[in-house]
Amino acid sequence: MGTGLKITQGTFSYLPDLSDDEIRAQIQYGIDNGWAVAIEYTDDPHPRNSYWDMWGMPMFDLEDAAGGMHEVTRCREAFPNQYIKVSLYNAKLTKQTIALQFIVQRPGHEPGFRLVRQEGADRQIRYTMEAYAAQKPHGDRYAD
């Protein structure tokens, strides 16, 4: 069941997982550019699920990456078997736009997705992706 390949969403997704020092450096880069830091988590990393659950509120007033790392650590402790990402928002031009986003935690096992074929009227064929983990209920999808 599944290939065990890691999902590729956000910046740096094709690189090896970032260390805490590298995460801290990216958060500081965002702060230095005036971007707000937000921590998000999910057990449904489907590529079309762009709205993950927020860990607290976006942090608009951070001056040092230590505050962002503290919240990453707290979120990891609360959700050890879920995906966690850092989103850095650029509020310039009166828009709240993601300037940088990257995954900072993954479950120990990522079973992957399968391609589901759907046949419709007039011989139309559509394809969609379904996560193997979605066969389990929320909260148990990546439990060991």
Give the whole-angstrom CA distance, residue 21 versus residue 17: 12
Spatial CA neighbour of 44 closest among 114, 138, 122, 107: 138
Chain segment 40-79, per-residue pLDDT in tens: 999 888 777 778 999 999 999 899 999 999 999 999 999 9
pLDDT tops 70 at residue 20: yes
pLDDT at 141: 67
Q: Which residue has the higher pLDDT, 121 or 23?
A: 23
Token digits of residue 67: 């505050």
SS3 assignment for the chain: CCCCCCCCCCCCCCCCCCCHHHHHHHHHHHHHCCCEEEEEEECCCCCCCCCCEEEEEEECCCCCHHHHHHHHHHHHHHCCCCEEEEEEEECHHHCCEEEEEEEEECCCCCCCEEEEEEECHHHCEEEEEEEHHHHCCCCCCCCC
Which CATH topology does 20-109 take? Answer: Ribulose 1,5 Bisphosphate Carboxylase/Oxygenase (3.30.190)
Chain segment 72-93, per-residue pLDDT in tens: 999 999 999 899 999 999 988 6
pLDDT tops 50 at residue 2: no
Domain extents in the chain = 20-109
Q: Mean pLDDT of all residues in the chain?
A: 84
Give the whole-angstrom CA distance, residue 92 versus residue 71: 24
With vertex at residue 3, the alpha carbon angle to CA 14 and CA 41, rounded to the nearest 5 degrees, is 55
Stated pTM of the model? 0.78
Q: What's the mean pLDDT in 89-112?
A: 83
pLDDT at 40: 96
